[in-house]
Structure 1
C-alpha cells in the first residue's frame, strides 16, 4: 500500500481553528495527512512568500506545501525552504475541498430521490417548435422528469400532436394538461403518457382513452377542491375500468383554503394508502409574494412525508423562474432527511440563496493590526458588522456610505486612476450587497447565491 502523502498547510493565528475544522473532514476523504504550520502573524493575507520561508517552524518532511491564497510573491522561496513543491491554495478556506477535487457539503450517498417532477410549459401553443424543444431541454437539465403541456381554455390547439411528437423525438416524456378531448387525444396519439386531469365532466373520456391508447395514465381530481366525495366517485370508476391513475386533491392558495387543502391530502392518503398521488405547487409558488425556493422545500417535505411521488411545477412569474431546479435540489434534501432521520440542515448549500449560513468576521482588532502592518498601495476591502472597511499603506477608512469613502480615497490618493476606480466601485457594490443581505464578502470573489452563484474571474491586477 502506498504511503499517504503528507501536506503542510501554512496559516496565521486567526484562521487556524477554521483550517483545522476543514482539514479534519477533508484529509480522510482526499487521502492525505495534514500538518498545519501556524506562523507568528494574525492575518494570513499579510504574508509574503519570503517572510513565510524565514518563519516556518520545525516540521516533518512533507510531499507538498499549501500557502494561503492571499499570500504574495513567488512560491520558490518556500519550496526551497521546505524541499517540497509549493502552491497557493484558495483565497477562501471553504473552497479547500474543491481545491483537492472533493466537493464539500452533502455526505456520501446524498442525492437519492423518489419524487417525479412534471415541468409545465405555459402557453406552449404560442411558441415555435424550436423554442418548445429548447425550453423542454432546459427543464430536463434542471431536473424535470416529464414535460407538461399546459393548454389554454378556448379554441382547440390543433398543433398539439406535432408539439408532443417534437419533444418525444428529442427524448422527452410528455404529459397533457387539458379538458379538451380533441387536444388530449391528439397528444396521446403522438406519445403523451399522462393526462391532467380527470373529474366528473370528462370521466367517460378516460375510459375511451384507456381502450384506445392502452397504458394511458390520468390524474384524478375532485369536481371542486373541497368535494372529496366526487373524487371518491372518480377514483372508484377509474379503478373499475382498470384505468391507471394518480390522485391530486388540489392545493389551494393561501387565503382560499390552503390549510384545509393540506388536510385533504392527508385525508386522501389515509383512505388510499397505496395510491399514487400528485401535488401541484404552482398555487403557492406562483401566487405568493415570496421567493419560491423556500416554498418548494416545504412542499417537498410535505410530499416526502406523505408519500406523494409526483409534483407539477411552473416557472411563469419571475420570482419562481428557477422552480424546477429548486425542487430538484429540494427533493434530494428531504429524501435524505427522512431516510436518514436527520434534520435538513447544513446539508444542501445550493438552496441557501439570500443569506449565508454563517457570517465570518475578522474583528476590529485584527483589522486595526492589518492597517498597521500594510505598507503597499493595494486596497483591501472588508465588509462586516454593518460597515465597509478600506485599508492600504496610506489609510484605514471605515463607514457605511461607499460614496463618502471613495471621495476620501480620492482626496488621499491622487494616483487613483479610472481603471482602479471602476474596480473599487464594483467591489464596493458587492460589499454593500453583502452587508444589506447578511452575506460574506471576500474581495475578488463572487458573493455566494447557492446554485445561482456565477463564479467570478477577477481581472484586477
Structure 2
C-alpha cells in the first residue's frame, strides 16, 4: 500500500505461540509487513502495556490480533501511530494485507469482519450490475432468462397436485427462502385440469416468483396456461401444435425437448415457425448414463443457436449420485456457465439432495461473479465450502513448561440427581426432553444455558455430556442430517 508516494510501513504484533503462523502469512502477502513478537505466549492476551513497553517506532500502522478487546487509544496517541485490529485468525493476515487499500481498519471491529462486509456489498453490486446490463430474450415477472443474466434457479415441487393447499404453500415458501428464482409445479400422470388450476392459483397467490408447470399432457398445459402459469415444461413434436395457440395468446414461453422421434433442432425450428418463445433443453443425462455425451450436445447446440436460452436439468445428476450435493451442484453450475445455460432446474426429491436449491443459487452467483472478474470461481467472497475450508487455522502449541497429561475416558457412570435428557431434532429445532419439561432451540449453547439456569443439570460430567450431544445435534441440524443421541454423526 502506498502512502504519500511511499509504501506504508506495517507492523504485526503477536505472541510466541503464533509467531510462525504470523510470519508465514506476512511473507505470503504482496504488501510488506514486519512482525514483532511480544513477551507473552498467547497473542490474544496482548495489552496496551505490552505495546507501551515495546514502544515500536517508524510505522504507519500497528496491527494487533482481532480477538483483542482492550482500548489502545492512549498508547496510540503516545506512539503517534494507528493501532488497529487485524483478523481473528493468523491465516487471514495475508488477505488483509493485500486489501489494505480497500478497507479502513477499525480499533473495534476485526479486519476479517470488515472485509467480509465489504466483499458482500461489492458482490451484491456486481450481481445487480450483471442483471442491469443483461439483455434477456425472455423475462418472466421481472426475472430475466438468458442474454447474459445470471443463471436462474428453477425449483421443482414434485407431484404438486397431490399436496394439500397448506403443504403446497409451505413448500413454495421454503423454496423462496432458499433462494429459488422460479417455482416449477411437477404434475403427476393422474392429475386433472382442475387440479392444475388449483395449484397454479395457489402458487400465484403465495409468491411473486414466476410459476411453471411440468407436464407433456396438452390438456394440463392448457389448464395451467389458463390459470396463469408463466412458463411451460415441456413441449415436443407430439403436443406442440395442440398448445401453440394458447401459448401465443398468453405470451407464455415453453421449454422444448427432443422427441418423440424428432431431434431437438427440429422441434426448436417448428416452435419458432409457430412464433413461440422457446428455451432449449438438450436433456442432461445421469452419471454413467451418457452424462459426458449430453454435455457435448449442449455445447454443440450453443454453437449453432447462441441466442436461444438453455435449460440444464441438474437434478438428473444430483439425485442419481451418492455424493454430497453442494460439490456436485457447484461443478454442474460451472459447466452450466461454460455452456451458456440460463436455467438450473432441480427438485429436492431425495434426502441427500436437501439444500440443492440454496446451493445452486449460491453457485450461480459465484459463476456470475467469476465471469465478471474473468477468473476461476475462487476467492470471490462467497463459496460453497461447507465441510472443508480454504485456509487452515492455527493449532495450539502447549507451553513447554506445563505438564502434559494424556486424556482418559471415565470408567464410571453416575446419574445426575437433577434428571436426564433425551435429545433429538424436532423440525428445524433441537429438542431436549427432560422429566420436567422440553427445551427447544436452534443452538447447543442456548439449550444448555437454559437447562443450567433452570437447575436441570447438577453435575459437571452431565453438563459436559449434554454439551457434546447438543453440539452434535446442532451440526446435524445445520447440515440437514439425521441425529440420534449417543451415535456417531459421521
TM-score, structure 2 normalization: 0.65
Task: Identify which range, 136-145 or 305-314, moves more after superposition.
Answer: 136-145
**Alpha carbons of 1:150 and 1:256: their partners in 2 closer, same or farther (altered >3 Å)?**
same
Contact in 1 for aligned 2:213/2:232 (Cα 8 Å): yes
Q: 3-state DSSP class of the match of 2:254?
A: strand
- Please give the per-residue CA displacement for 1:384-406, whole angstroms capped at 9, x wherever unaligned: xxxxxxxxxxx5245xxxxx534
Q: Which residue of 1 aligns with 2:43?
A: 44
**Alpha carbons of 1:372 and 1:68: their partners in 2 closer, same or farther (altered >3 Å)?**
farther
CA distance in 2, matches of 1:234, 1:61: 70
CA apart distance, 1:137: 2.7
Q: Which residue of 1 aligns with 2:310?
A: 277
CA apart distance, 1:88: 8.2
Q: 3-state DSSP class of the match of 2:194?
A: coil
Which residue of 452, 455, 459 maps to 1:418? 459
**Alpha carbons of 1:161 and 1:110: their partners in 2 closer, same or farther (altered >3 Å)?**
same
User: Unmatched 5+ residue regions in structure 1?
Assistant: 26-33, 374-394, 399-403, 411-416, 434-445, 453-461
CA distance in 1, matches of 2:172, 2:53: 58
Q: 3-state DSSP class of the match of 1:343?
A: coil
**2:397 is the alignment partner of 1:367:** yes
Which residue of 23, 35, 40 maps to 1:17? 23
**2:347 is the alignment partner of 1:314:** yes
Which residue of 405, 409, 421 maps to 2:408? 405
TM-score, structure 1 normalization: 0.69
CA apart distance, 1:82: 4.9
- Please give the per-residue CA displacement for 1:5-27, whole angstroms capped at 9, x wherever unaligned: x99864223453367589988xx
Contact in 2 for aligned 1:37/1:57 (Cα 8 Å): no
- Please give the per-residue CA displacement for 1:299-339, whole angstroms capped at 9, x wherever unaligned: 21222122221121111112211111111111122233344
Contact in 2 for aligned 1:119/1:139 (Cα 8 Å): yes
CA distance in 2, matches of 1:337, 1:164: 36
Q: 3-state DSSP class of the match of 1:197?
A: strand
CA apart distance, 1:350: 3.0
CA distance in 2, matches of 1:21, 1:216: 58
Give the 4+ runs in structure 1 shifted more than 6 A. 6-9, 21-25, 60-65, 84-90, 104-107, 427-430, 449-452
CA distance in 1, matches of 2:392, 2:462: 27
**Alpha carbons of 1:19 and 1:215: their partners in 2 closer, same or farther (altered >3 Å)?**
same
CA distance in 2, matches of 1:223, 1:55: 80
CA distance in 2, matches of 1:287, 1:307: 23
**Alpha carbons of 1:21 and 1:346: their partners in 2 closer, same or farther (altered >3 Å)?**
farther
CA apart distance, 1:253: 1.0
CA distance in 2, matches of 1:337, 1:236: 33
**Alpha carbons of 1:11 and 1:421: their partners in 2 closer, same or farther (altered >3 Å)?**
farther
**2:56 is the alignment partner of 1:58:** yes
CA apart distance, 1:177: 0.2
**2:261 is the alignment partner of 1:263:** no
- Please give the per-residue CA displacement for 1:27-83, whole angstroms capped at 9, x wherever unaligned: xxxxxxx997541345325x36487366443347999985552x6xx836x665555
CA apart distance, 1:148: 0.4
Q: Which residue of 2 aligns with 1:163?
A: 199
**2:167 is the alignment partner of 1:136:** no
CA apart distance, 1:255: 2.7
CA RMSD of aligned residues (A): 4.3
Which residue of 259, 266, 270 maps to 1:233? 266
Which residue of 233, 241, 244 maps to 1:196? 233
Task: Identify which range, 13-22 or 110-119, moves more after superposition.
Answer: 13-22
CA distance in 2, matches of 1:250, 1:259: 12
CA apart distance, 1:371: 5.1
CA apart distance, 1:285: 0.6
Taking the TM superposition and a 5 Å limit, the aligned residue runs for 1:309-348 are 309-347=342-380
Q: 3-state DSSP class of the match of 1:351?
A: coil
Q: Which residue of 2 aligns with 1:122?
A: 158
**How many aligned residue pairs are there?**
383
Taking the TM superposition and a 5 Å limit, the aligned residue runs for 1:425-444 are 426=467
Q: 3-state DSSP class of the match of 2:362?
A: helix
CA distance in 2, matches of 1:271, 1:82: 65
**2:180 is the alignment partner of 1:150:** no
Taking the TM superposition and a 5 Å limit, the aligned residue runs for 1:373-388 are none
Q: Which residue of 2 aligns with 1:386?
A: none
Q: 3-state DSSP class of the match of 2:397?
A: helix
User: Unmatched 5+ residue regions in structure 2?
Assistant: 93-108, 131-148, 414-457, 481-490
Q: Which residue of 1 aligns with 2:217?
A: 180
**Alpha carbons of 1:140 and 1:96: their partners in 2 closer, same or farther (altered >3 Å)?**
same
CA distance in 1, matches of 2:253, 2:361: 23
CA distance in 2, matches of 1:284, 1:335: 22
Q: 3-state DSSP class of the match of 2:213?
A: strand
Contact in 2 for aligned 1:351/1:450 (Cα 8 Å): no
**2:110 is the alignment partner of 1:96:** yes
CA distance in 1, matches of 2:280, 2:66: 56
